[in-house]
Structure 1
Amino acid sequence: MLWAQEKKNVLIFLVDDLGYFDISHHDADFYETPNIDQLAQEGVDFTNAYVAHPRCLPSRYALQTGRYPARAGIPAKNENTIKGKKFYDNEKTIGQAFKDQGYHTYFAGKWHLGHEEDEWPHNKGYDINVAGCAAGAPQSYFYPYNVPKNPKKIGKGHGKIIGLDEGEEGEYLTDRLTDETIKFLNTDHDGKPFFAVLSHYGVHTPFQAKKKDIKKYKTKLEGMTFEGPEYTKQDGTMKMHQNNPVYGAMVASVDESLGRIVKTLKAKGMYENTIIVFTSDHGGLSNRGLNSNRDLATSNLPLRAGKGHTYEGGTKVPLIFGGAKISKHGVVHQVTTNTDLYPTLLDLCGLNLYPTEHLDGISIKNNIKKGKSEDRTIFWHSPKARPNSTGDIHVTVARDGDFKMMYFYKEERYELYNLKTDPYETKNIYNANDPKSKQMAQMITSWIAETKASI
Structure 2
Amino acid sequence: MSSYDHHLSRRAFGSAVGVTAAAAAAGLGAAGPARAAQEAGPGEREFRAARGRPGRRPNILFILGDDLGWADLSSYGSPHIKTPNLDRLARQGVRFTDAYAGSATCSPTRFSLYTGRYPGRTKGGLAEPIADRSAGLEPTHPTLASLLRDSGYATALIGKWHCGYLPDYSPTRSGWDEFFGNFGGALEYYSKLGLGGEYDLYEGDAAYKDLRYYTRILTERASAYVSRDHGGRPWLLNMNYTTPHWPWIADGDTEESAEVERRIKAGDARALWHQDGGSVEKYRQMVEDLDRSVGEVLKALKRSGQENDTLVFFASDNGGERFSYNWPLSGNKASLQEGGIRVPTLVRWPARVDGGQVSHVPVVTPDWTATLLELAGARPHPAYPLDGVSLAGYLLRGEEPPAHDLFWRVRGERALRRGDWKYYRGKGGRDQLFHLAGDLREQADKAALEPALLGRLRAAWEKTDAGLLPYPG
The CA distance in 1 between the partners of 2:198 and 2:362, in whole Å, is: 32
> In the TM superposition, what are the counterparts of 1:64-213 in structure 2 within 5 Å?
64-73=114-123, 76=126, 84-88=134-138, 90-133=140-183, 135-138=184-187, 140-142=188-190, 144-146=191-193, 156=196, 160-163=200-203, 166-167=208-209, 169=211, 171-211=212-252
TM-fit CA distance, 1:157: 6.2
**Structure-2 change in CA distance of 1:187 and 1:205 (3 Å):** same
The CA distance in 1 between the partners of 2:452 and 2:57, in whole Å, is: 49
SS state at 1:117 partner: coil
Which residue does the alignment assign to 2:414?
Answer: 396
- Percent identical across equivalent pairs? 29
The CA distance in 1 between the partners of 2:370 and 2:178, in whole Å, is: 22
Tell me which of 357, 369, 394 is aligned to 1:367: 394
Deviations 1:185-229 (A, max 9, x none): 2321133111111101111000000249xxxxxxxxxxxxxxxxx
TM-fit CA distance, 1:348: 2.2
1:258 partnered with 2:307: no
SS state at 1:62 partner: helix
Deviations 1:353-406 (A, max 9, x none): 4464352111011222327445420111011xxxxxxxxxx1111112211111
Which residue does the alignment assign to 2:63?
Answer: 13
1:448 partner amino acid: D
TM-fit CA distance, 1:132: 4.4
> In the TM superposition, what are the counterparts of 1:217-228 in structure 2 within 5 Å?
none
Tell me which of 297, 311, 328 is aligned to 1:275: 311
The CA distance in 1 between the partners of 2:403 and 2:346, in whole Å, is: 21
The CA distance in 1 between the partners of 2:165 and 2:361, in whole Å, is: 36
Any unmatched runs of 5+ in structure 1? 78-82, 148-154, 213-241, 286-295, 384-393
Which residue does the alignment assign to 2:367?
Answer: 340
The CA distance in 2 between the partners of 1:371 and 1:43, in whole Å, is: 18
SS state at 1:381 partner: strand
2:420 partner amino acid: D
**Structure-2 change in CA distance of 1:358 and 1:46 (3 Å):** farther
The CA distance in 1 between the partners of 2:237 and 2:126, in whole Å, is: 30
Tell me which of 335, 338, 342 is aligned to 1:312: 338
- Contact between 1:24 and 1:31, CA under 8 Å: does it hold in 2? yes
- Contact between 1:120 and 1:132, CA under 8 Å: does it hold in 2? no
Any unmatched runs of 5+ in structure 2? 1-54, 128-132, 254-277
1:210 partner amino acid: D
1:362 partner amino acid: V
TM-fit CA distance, 1:98: 0.8
Tell me which of 262, 275, 284 is aligned to 1:248: 284
1:444 partnered with 2:444: no
The CA distance in 2 between the partners of 1:348 and 1:75, in whole Å, is: 26
Q: Normalization by structure 1: what TM-score?
A: 0.79
- Contact between 1:332 and 1:368, CA under 8 Å: does it hold in 2? no
The CA distance in 2 between the partners of 1:115 and 1:166, in whole Å, is: 16
Alignment coverage as a number of residue pairs: 387
- Contact between 1:11 and 1:196, CA under 8 Å: does it hold in 2? yes
TM-fit CA distance, 1:95: 0.7
Q: Normalization by structure 2: what TM-score?
A: 0.76
1:277 partner amino acid: F
The CA distance in 1 between the partners of 2:315 and 2:59, in whole Å, is: 17
TM-fit CA distance, 1:298: 1.8
Deviations 1:228-254 (A, max 9, x none): xxxxxxxxxxxxxx9711111111111
1:413 partnered with 2:430: yes
The CA distance in 2 between the partners of 1:64 and 1:168, in whole Å, is: 28
